[in-house]
């Protein structure tokens, strides 16, 4: 009997370790090319702009339509010459942004390599998922869209990766849309992270539901856990969007964070206005002091998912993502 128990424990330990071991994805066949849309656009003379846009529309019709109408907000009802003049005005205004991007991304190959590795992990864990085969880099308005998963490509808004200290991000125009706690992540390092995040959102679209706080915390935790498995070599603080010190302090005060939810009876709260204070982007968690980051409910949810996977590792990530959060919470028995 004792031998049987030992064997069971060993098997559980081996399964748990193997399920968390980083797989070798180097042989996963992923095709990926990069189109530098912004280079051709900013090198195009005003007189040939219409011709150029028609040409690229043939190669990437979905992206070009989105770029013009959603990113640059060109009205489809405008005459062609009006639209061309509007786009040309944007090119002139954003020439300095393009020049900054060229200095940083003159060679995009290292970033394509990082994205490709992330896609290899996606293919390993989700072999039936239709991967994008193209990366399209572009320059858009600084207060607009950034990195997008289009129908046929990963679109990278380079204007959001120029380095957190770029003067562009200190302007009122940008700060109103992307305050410092967001714009501090406008670094080249976040390109691959944002690409894979967009794929996670495509695999598992976020649901707006009326479930209590704890369920939504765990849903956020699932997504962070999945992201960490798809980008296993990426620092955790980048995955959740904290600074290094914020993540370090969050781990150091994990019990205090959990007590916040327990002592204030927050876990079963269903008020969306309260829930968003803990599971959405925000500069801080007021109750924990000035230095405490926002989105602290997602951090706690992530730790609960980790605890669950240590105790009862799901056989696949798909199984984990579809598990009822109530079951996960009860079986994790999380108590930091």
39-88 pLDDT, tens digit per residue, is 989 987 656 777 776 666 666 667 888 899 999 999 989 888 888 899 99
Do 211 and 328 form a contact (C-beta atoms < 8 A)? no
Which of 299, 263, 262, 305 minimizes the C-alpha distance to 280?
A: 299
Do 121 and 227 form a contact (C-beta atoms < 8 A)? no
pLDDT at 18: 40
- Percent of the chain's residues with pLDDT above 90: 77
Q: Where are any strands of DSSP class E within 171-234? A: none
- What torsion, rounded to 10 degrees, do the Cα atoms 315, 201, 262, 288 define? 130
- Confidence class of residue 14 from pLDDT cuts 50, 70 and 90? very low
pLDDT at 1: 35
**pLDDT reading at 12 higher than 50:** no
pLDDT at 47: 60
Q: How far is CA 310 from CA 54, 169, 334, in A?
A: 54, 41, 11
Q: Which residues contact 308 (CB under 8 A, 6 or more apart)?
A: 328, 331, 332, 334
**pLDDT reading at 326 higher than 80:** yes
Q: Where are the domains of the chain?
A: 33-203, 213-332
* Helix runs in 75-152, H state only: 80-93, 95-105, 109-125
pLDDT at 165: 97
**pLDDT reading at 199 higher than 50:** yes
Largest distance between two CA atoms of the chain: 85
Do 189 and 111 form a contact (C-beta atoms < 8 A)? no
Task: Please state the pTM of the whole predicted model.
Answer: 0.90
Do 297 and 219 form a contact (C-beta atoms < 8 A)? no
Q: What is the mean pLDDT of residues 122-135?
A: 97
**Gyration radius of the chain over CA positions:** 23
Q: Identify the residue with better confidence: 113 or 17.
A: 113
pLDDT at 56: 63
Q: What is the mean pLDDT of the chain?
A: 90
**pLDDT reading at 4 higher than 70:** no
Which of 147, 125, 127 minimizes the C-alpha distance to 137?
A: 147
């Amino acid at each position: 009997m004792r031998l049987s128990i030992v064997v069971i424990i060993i098997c559980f330990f081996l399964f748990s370790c193997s399920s968390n071991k980083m797989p070798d994805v180097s042989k996963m066949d992923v095709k990926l090319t990069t189109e530098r849309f912004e280079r051709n656009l900013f090198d195009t003379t005003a007189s040939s702009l219409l011709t150029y846009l028609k040409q690229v529309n043939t190669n990437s019709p979905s992206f070009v339509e989105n770029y013009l109408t959603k990113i640059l907000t060109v009205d489809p009802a405008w005459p062609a010459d009006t639209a061309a003049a509007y786009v040309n005005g944007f090119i002139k205004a954003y020439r300095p942004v393009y020049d900054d991007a060229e200095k940083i991304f003159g060679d995009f190959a290292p970033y394509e390599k990082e994205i490709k590795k992330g896609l290899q992990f996606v293919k390993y864990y989700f072999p039936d998922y239709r991967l994008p085969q193209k990366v399209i880099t572009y320059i858009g308005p600084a207060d607009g869209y950034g990195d997008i998963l289009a129908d046929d490509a990963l679109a990278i808004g380079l204007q959001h990766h120029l380095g957190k200290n770029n003067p562009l991000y200190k302007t009122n125009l940008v700060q109103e849309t992307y305050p410092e706690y967001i714009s501090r992540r406008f670094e080249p390092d976040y390109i691959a992270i944002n690409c894979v995040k967009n794929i996670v959102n495509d695999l598992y679209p976020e649901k707006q539901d009326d479930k209590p706080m704890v369920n939504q915390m765990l849903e956020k935790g699932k997504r962070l856990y999945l992201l960490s498995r798809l980008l296993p070599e990426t620092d955790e603080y980048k995955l959740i969007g904290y600074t290094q010190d914020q993540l370090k302090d969050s781990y150091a005060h994990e019990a205090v964070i959990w007590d916040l939810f327990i002592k204030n009876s927050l876990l079963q709260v269903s008020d969306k206005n309260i829930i968003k204070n803990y599971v959405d982007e925000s500069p801080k968690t007021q109750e924990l002091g000035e230095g405490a980051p926002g989105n602290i409910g997602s951090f706690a949810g992530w730790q609960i998912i980790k605890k669950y996977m240590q105790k009862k590792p799901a056989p696949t990530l798909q199984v984990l993502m579809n598990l009822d959060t109530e079951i996960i919470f009860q079986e994790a028995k999380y108590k930091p």
